[in-house]
Structure 1
Amino acid sequence: MSEPPQPPVPPTTPPEQPAPPSPHADPALPAAPQHPSNGSYPPAAAPYPANASSPQAAPQGASHPGAAAYAAPQPPYGTAPTAYGAPADTAPSTANPLGRLAFIIALASLALRVLSTVIMPFLAIGSGYTLYGVMTAVFNLLVLGAAAAALVLGFLAIRRRGPLLLAGIAIGVGGSQVVLVVFGWLSSLFFYL
């Protein structure tokens, strides 16, 4: 007897072998997206392994040969890795003491200038013009010395690392005070000539 007729069998193809993992691929991601066909999704997993010390650490049971390279400790957030084993660049300091000193001296010269402006009219009325002239010269020398010191220290502080705001203010205030004193003396010189 003969065998009963059977439906034709489709040609078989060998099962697809998964491609070896790329060295640039993330080991935590699957090779192909996996979607359930029945519409039910499994519960969401934790984004990182519970025993990992950092988000970049590989899971303990990694099965591919490059897993050890991904499990190496990573530098903490905010620190840049060094190139070619060079020492890490130190973070810029958060203070510029020379700039702060220049700013304080500039404020002192400004305060002296305001004080002399307030006091001088009372000296001129009460004691005469001789004391007024001497006190004006003394105040102007003090203001000029403090402003010049603030200007020089401000320029030195600008060339250092750290915040530059106070140094810039010291340069502006000190420079304007030096210009005011020098032009005040020049105008007085022309008045006496």
Structure 2
Amino acid sequence: MTFKKINRDRIIRFLKFSVHLFQVIYEKLTSGDKDYFLPFKYDHIQHYYGKDCLDIGAGTGRFSLYLQDQGHTITPIDVVDKAIEEIDLDIFDGQNINKADKSFSTSIFMFVLHHTDTQVELLKEAARVTRDYIIVAEDIVESRLDKMFGNIHLNTSPWAKGNNSFRSKKEWIELFSKLNLELVEINDIPIHIYPIYPVNRTIFVLKPI
């Protein structure tokens, strides 16, 4: 392969990335409700979502409402009510989930755990109230660049921030193992899906043992 061809290929990739970035920025500015991660959060793993789901850290409530529209019964909880959708949100203390053992078929943490320092307590509580699967989506810190973007995210996010809340993929897997959470499936979200905030992201499907 010649030097010119290598440069040309890089230019083409850069132009394609730039076009995609422009599209994402445009859509973000003109429509704040698009979920770029939806295929990974739901479509690719929908068979792990049971009839009754607990959405821990429901945030705006958009994903809870989406799951409800798909036919699931949703119980959304969060430490503060910032829902912009019409959902019946329960407020909790961020550590103790006031639900009976094995109340839900599926519990969900959608990009929530990096906003808290009580990750262990929350995962233990999720394991207690869940019959089948726990789905965790997280920003992954594997490089200095990931850490830099993560810090920017935490300092500009309207949600709470943990002091040492980001982990590498290996560190998450080790934590799940210590908590007796079996890793059933793991899916990486390509960085280019959301280039405004280009960090590694992974969705873990877990089963309480």
Where on the TM-score scale, by shorter chain, does this alignment land: which range? under 0.3
TM-score normalized by the length of structure 1: 0.20
Structure with bigger strand share is 2
TM-score normalized by the length of structure 2: 0.19
- Larger of the two Rg values belongs to structure: 1
